[in-house]
A and B are shown apart, each in its own frame.
Chain A
């Protein structure tokens, strides 16, 4: 049996009270709870405070460039679909610098789990507005308030045909564990946008701010109802719905479209000389 401690225990560089701690704990518990071996998991991140998460875990990991976790994760999954690939980074990394990759990954429906630590601010670069910062919120870089409308990850993903869209909150760890597990089991692209306080730089969206608002979805919500999911995804105010907004497995995962992946990972594939000969002859 795998336990949470099989995924390691490290000292982190995060501020005390930061939501990242709880998310890290939830990821480890989720994977251990599913009996995943560290060697079968590959965590991929970009750059930021959230993106350091893989370094605090024992498993395969690729900590790449700012914004580029999803392309790297896509490449890994295509090369070896047997690995459980989890992309994990901040809202700036995934929705800002990596925005185009986010759109493409949803559309591809590659079988990845995307965990976005959404603290509505840039943490590592010390508090500038992120794509999810509320309009009007002031920061040192936006002293007159952020002018842009905030990016809406859940409704954007839904509008692009995402098959799994969920919202979590770092303060509801047990619930988050089950969200992550369902996301990992989902055969296709699974987004879990995780609300998370940044105690150092986001003085508006604090732990208690989220706690007062985040409300678990109950059984009355049908996760197969796209229109209901769309309405919930846009609900952002006194109550913020948390849970699986939408799940649909109609579209097969992207990597399933490649018969060349059926025999196994690409590293084990090499064409025979006869095949190469016959291809070469098409140029004769």
Chain B
């Protein structure tokens, strides 16, 4: 069977996340595609959390809707998911739990028999799941060994035993009907398991980022943790600041002195950083921020997802200054666009922002290992010795001034948050002010020329064009694919960079479509509003989700079908 969705459900603290990650990694090392979606409550123990893996032999766009295999660690997780079970399904659970529905295919596992330690139940269940799916035992065992082996040999052995016991127990009881189609395992190391936090961190590392200041906030913290895990090898300083105000100002200071910084945060923290972002704009200091969105306002739904901080990113900071805003739609795009954001920040000496969200932060996927040798280079701070008569804010045609670093030569480097002369000193001259505003604005023209064109797929002049940005890419493309398969003419236009926009890259697409529908995870159709401001084009309809859950094809389709019908009827008249 191909295209299986497995859902691991239970309480926080039962090791579901570890188990899910190990299973996902085993699938990737076996050669399958995966797409993970996670659902958790804002608590450390108890509650009900799920880790779902959709797996297939061909690339996946969005999360699955039906559950084929449910690994349930609590009664609640059996009861809650009853309605999502596919017709042909399997519920793997422990002996004490059961289902009210007699039609359910239950597989009660005697975990006590498989391992004498409760904390190893998850690894025994991992063995069971690998057995059910027909994965090569060596691959699962290898994943378990690399997860636990480095810490303690004894611990690793216990985990391996639990894994094998689970695997063997299940093999004697389950026929091979659940096996995934066999594929040949890829070369070792050729595929990575990445979600946004890992991909952003790897992109940052590859771009030469060597400074990260942050204040913890879900779902952004992962970026800092991934950098901290390798800080000494990388030569990267990671500092947990006392608050977000400090985090962004520290990054600005570090950058002024030649570090290449990244500052991950979420909406609430980003709101606090506004003034510091404005400071980076005024002092023309490169800084890259990662804004991992979650539902607001205020503390909102801390562990859920939304795309409602687009306007915060676009308008953060007071006054006018150039910026670039990236909105990657997949972990792979997270890697490349974080690199690009760092590069643009360096070259244009201004803040750049990478917008991710909780869905993307938790959505592990298989990504081919990056060819680090053939990446286009990222600009690094210039460490040459500038002469003594150096001025920091020299007016140039591009608006970009040569940037010296303090301590690298006779040049003295002067930066000011007040409006300043070319020398960097405070001024109140109206003429100098106008010249400086114009100089900074010229940088935006350059940035606009480097904006990545949105990705279009579908027929020319489609009846319906789905407009999307950031993480809704997969769900929107899957919905469009399903529509196209039933003969409808649907196209998708995905923006992975949302500022600056260059209407010449996409305006025709909008005007040639019969109906343009914005699909966004927010209530205000923020991107549609931005398009209207930039092009005068009014998007005619929208499909919006703001219940904190990610967009999926199954959410989009029932809302899209009536729109398509209306549109195609209109054609016939």
Contacts and interface: CB of A to CB of B under 8 A. Distances in A.
Most buried by B among A40, A42, A65, A263: A65
B185 interface: no
A266 B417 contact: no
A76 interface: yes
Interface in A254-273: 258-261, 263, 265-271, 273
Interface string B22-42: 000000010000000000000
A55 B245 contact: no
Given A100-B243, A284-B369, A74 B231 contact: no
A151 to B, nearest CB: 17
B458 to A, nearest CB: 33
B413 interface: yes
Interface residues of B, number: 73
Contacts of A79: 211, 237, 253-259
Interface in B412-428: 412-418, 424-426
B373 interface: yes
A275 B233 contact: yes
Contact of A39 (B250, B261, B412): B412
B256 A83 contact: no
Contacts of A78: 211, 237, 239, 250, 254, 259
Interface stretch (B58-66, B156-164, B403-411): B403-411
B241 A71 contact: yes
Interface stretch (A25-33, A56-64, A191-199, A221-229): A56-64
A72 interface: yes
Interface in A73-107: 73-76, 78-80, 82-83, 100-101, 103-104
Nearest to B202: A280
A61 B194 CA distance: 41
Contacts of A282: 229-230
Contacts of B279: 64-65, 68
A104 B242 contact: yes
B197 to A, nearest CB: 11
Contact of A266 (B230, B233, B235, B369): B235
B253 A76 contact: yes
A100 B190 CA distance: 47
A277 B247 CA distance: 29
B51 to A, nearest CB: 18
Contacts of B414: 60-61
B249 A75 contact: yes
B191 interface: yes
Contacts of B218: none
Given A47-B417, A65-B276, A101 B234 contact: no
Contact of A280 (B255, B258, B370, B410): B370
B150 to A, nearest CB: 10
A101 B241 CA distance: 9
Given A100-B246, A267-B383, A271-B233, A75 B283 contact: no
A279 interface: yes
A60 B412 contact: yes
Contacts of A101: 242, 245-246
A52 B252 CA distance: 19
A39 B415 contact: no
A75 B407 contact: no
Given A55-B425, A101-B246, A283-B194, A80 B205 contact: no
Contacts of B242: 100-101, 103-104
Interface in B361-381: 369-370, 372-373, 380-381
Among the interface residues B208, B249, B416, which one has the most CB atoms of the partner chain A within 10 A? B249
Contact of A64 (B249, B259, B413): B249
A269 B29 CA distance: 34
B233 A265 contact: no
B288 interface: no
Nearest to B254: A75
A260 B236 contact: yes
Most B CB within 10 A of own CB, among A59, A64, A271, A279: A64
A121 interface: no
A220 interface: no
Nearest to B186: A284
B206 interface: yes
Given A78-B211, A280-B372, A268 B192 contact: no
Contact of B410 (A39, A62, A73, A260): A39
B252 A75 contact: yes
A86 B302 CA distance: 39
Given A59-B412, A260-B234, A266 B189 contact: no
A267 B328 CA distance: 28
Nearest to B192: A283
Given A75-B255, A266-B258, A258 B250 contact: no
B101 interface: no
Contact of A76 (B213, B254, B373): B254
B193 interface: yes
B256 A75 contact: yes
A40 B254 contact: no
Nearest to B425: A55
Nearest to A276: B372
A261 B257 contact: no
A183 interface: no
Given A52-B426, A79-B257, A280-B370, A61 B210 contact: no
A260 B231 contact: yes
A277 B230 CA distance: 12
Contacts of A176: none
A252 B237 CA distance: 17
The 8 closest A-B pairs by CB, nearest first: A75-B253, A267-B258, A72-B253, A75-B254, A60-B406, A71-B249, A79-B257, A104-B242
Given A75-B252, A266-B211, A279-B202, 19 more contacts: A47-B417, A60-B413, A61-B415, A64-B249, A65-B279, A71-B249, A75-B253, A75-B254, A75-B256, A75-B259, A78-B239, A80-B406, A261-B237, A266-B260, A270-B235, A271-B235, A275-B233, A280-B202, A284-B192
7 contacts: A42-B406, A60-B412, A75-B261, A78-B259, A79-B255, A104-B242, A260-B231
Interface of B: 29, 188-194, 198, 202, 205-206, 208, 210-211, 213, 229-237, 239, 241-243, 245-247, 249-261, 275-276, 279, 283, 369-370, 372-373, 380-381, 383, 405-418, 424-426
